[in-house]
Amino acid sequence: MESHSIPFLDLVAPHRELRKELAAVFENALDTAGFIGGGVVADFEQEFGRFCGTRNCVGVGSGTDAVRFALIAGGVKPGDVVVTVPNTFIATTEAITQAGATPDFVDVDERTYNMDPQKLRHYLQVHCNVDGTTGRVYNKRLSRPVTAVVPVHLYGQPADMDPILDLAERFGLLVVEDACQAHGAEYFSRRANAWKKAGAIGKAAAFSFYPGKNLGACGEAGAVTTNDDEVARTVRMLRDHGQSRKYYHDMEGYNARLDAIQAAILRVKLGHLPRWNEQRRQAAARYRELFGSADRSEFPPYHPDGSKPVYHLYVVRVPERESLLRRLADAKIGTGIHYPIPLHLQKAYSTFSYKLGDFPVAERLASEIVSLPMFPELSADQQERVVKTILSFVDERGVQSVLSASSATT
């Protein structure tokens, strides 16, 4: 029997659905030649800021620009150290380096895949000294001040922000959320006794609207959200050659504006984002049910209380990954690995002389994770086929669950 392929991600279907509205955006841009800036960028910024629950939103050229500008505007200086996690897309650390700082890492929580606040505490207390007079934190190995932390809401699951904010306050660190995978995710802050959207928790946050993200442009785009007016003002200058007004340059900046066509496209799509996120949540619930009814409830990702993830990616840990990937490919089921090599082991960072074993949780996850098909239009039938294919592989091999196998070794 010929079976249809199941894509990992379907970018064609949502654009077919919105074809008329999106075509009108392009036609309007041609009619008005409004390609850069203008009312539509401001309108999108206002709407996305309202969506996140922040006073300010500043559109920029990409998520990478957004992380970099949030760090610079938040006060990170050349020579500083900025701490993040090793299991993120390299854009997070590129942005840190582009801000003139050095990236450093703390390991992640094995269940959530996100920054482990205990390990951040250990890093600050054991790997750093606090200067008695300035109160600044210095990394002992690098002899440089640690000034910021960038938690990543990986796969659309909010990082545990409360203890990170507590530590940041105590050690005087800037907190920039990398919310590039978490448009609309929510976190219950015990500190604030309120639900907060990703992007409204730290001093500032970075979003990417790369086409494959939950809210994607038809090209490159990003945004910084913040409740701090001064940070927002600086990001506005940084994205536009450091201008406070036309040809008055208060500083050197960048050419990194959000273009008007992308802003208009994002406005159209933002209206659909709550429904798309809900469809992703329903698909995640179906995966959970399918694995659960086969008595394999160790597969679905852990979902902590006090969080409402948006499932940018649906990531499971599997035994014998390479063989399973082949089996899924043979069944024409698309998959991904996010990400196969933790950043500290990337060639790009070989000069930092990290080694295997430095961040064991991130390393183990990198060798065991698989991202299954996940997008709003994913059907129940498609999910059933995905789960059946995985379970038949697991049963046939008689392999132990990777979770019970790894907990036996830890």
Ligand X SMILES: *Cc1c(COP(=O)(O)O)cnc(C)c1O
Q: Select the residue interacting with ligand X from 104, 178, 240, 363 (CB under 6 A).
A: 178
* Long-range contacts of residues 339-346, Cβ cutoff 8 Å, at least 24 apart: 339/87, 339/88, 339/89, 339/366, 340/366, 341/366, 342/86, 342/87, 342/366, 343/86, 343/87, 343/88, 343/90, 343/92, 343/93, 343/103, 343/105, 344/86, 344/105, 345/86, 346/90
The whole-angstrom separation of Cα 247 and Cα 332 is 55
92 closest CA partner among 67, 73, 62: 67
Nearer to ligand X among residue 92 and residue 371 (C-beta): 92
- Contact flag: residue 181 with ligand X (CB under 6 A): yes
Find the part of the chain contacting ligand X (CB under 6 A) among 22-30, 107-115, 175-183, 188-196.
175-183
Find the part of the chain contacting ligand X (CB under 6 A) among 8-16, 51-59, 62-70, 251-259.
62-70
Under 8 Å between Cβ of 243 and 249: yes
- Contact flag: residue 336 with ligand X (CB under 6 A): no
The whole-angstrom separation of Cα 382 and Cα 314 is 14
Nearer to ligand X among residue 62 and residue 139 (C-beta): 62
The whole-angstrom separation of Cα 185 and Cα 199 is 9
Nearer to ligand X among residue 181 and residue 307 (C-beta): 181
Site for ligand X in 185-244 (CB under 6 A): 208, 210, 222
Site for ligand X in 125-164 (CB under 6 A): 152
Find the part of the chain contacting ligand X (CB under 6 A) among 35-43, 178-186, 191-199, 278-286.
178-186
Closest approach, Cβ 374 to ligand X, in A, equals 14
- Contact flag: residue 114 with ligand X (CB under 6 A): no
Which residues neighbour 302 within 8 Å (Cβ) at sequence distance 6 or greater?
Answer: 111, 112
- Contact flag: residue 177 with ligand X (CB under 6 A): no
The whole-angstrom separation of Cα 213 and Cα 377 is 14
Closest approach, Cβ 362 to ligand X, in A, equals 14
Is beta strand 222-226 parallel, antiparallel or unpaired with respect to 204-208?
antiparallel
Q: Select the residue interacting with ligand X from 71, 91, 128, 318 (CB under 6 A).
A: 91
- Contact flag: residue 311 with ligand X (CB under 6 A): no
Q: Select the residue interacting with ligand X from 81, 180, 204, 366 (CB under 6 A).
A: 180
User: What six digits make up the tokens of 224?
Assistant: 């910084």
Helices 19-32, 260-270: axis angle to 10 degrees equals: 150
Find the part of the chain contacting ligand X (CB under 6 A) among 88-96, 184-192, 340-348, 380-388.
88-96
Closest approach, Cβ 90 to ligand X, in A, equals 8
Find the part of the chain contacting ligand X (CB under 6 A) among 8-16, 71-79, 84-92, 343-351.
84-92
Closest approach, Cβ 202 to ligand X, in A, equals 14
Q: Select the residue interacting with ligand X from 54, 56, 84, 88 (CB under 6 A).
A: 88
- Contact flag: residue 112 with ligand X (CB under 6 A): no
Closest approach, Cβ 63 to ligand X, in A, equals 2
Under 8 Å between Cβ of 68 and 234: no
- Contact flag: residue 48 with ligand X (CB under 6 A): no
- CA atoms within a 13 Å half-sphere pointing along the CA-CB vector of 23: 5
Task: Please name the helix (run of DSSP H) or strand (run of DSSP E) that holds residue 323, with its range, or none.
Answer: helix 321-330
The whole-angstrom separation of Cα 155 and Cα 260 is 28
Closest approach, Cβ 220 to ligand X, in A, equals 6
Q: Select the residue interacting with ligand X from 44, 51, 89, 254 (CB under 6 A).
A: 89
Q: Is the dihedral of CA 319, 325, 328, 333 positive or negative?
A: positive
- Contact flag: residue 263 with ligand X (CB under 6 A): no
- Contact flag: residue 84 with ligand X (CB under 6 A): no
What residue is closest to ligand X based on CB?
63
Angle (nearest 5°) at CA 238 between 85 and 198: 40
- Contact flag: residue 300 with ligand X (CB under 6 A): no
The residue type of 376 is: P
Closest approach, Cβ 211 to ligand X, in A, equals 9
- Contact flag: residue 92 with ligand X (CB under 6 A): yes
Which letter does DSSP use for residue 259 in this model? B
The whole-angstrom separation of Cα 166 and Cα 168 is 5
Residue-by-residue DSSP string for 13-50: HHHHHTHHHHHHHHHHHHHHT--BSSHHHHHHHHHHHH
Size of the site for ligand X (CB under 6 A): 14
Nearer to ligand X among residue 44 and residue 89 (C-beta): 89
Interface ranges with ligand X (CB under 6 A): 62-64, 88-89, 91-92, 152, 178, 180-181, 208, 210, 222
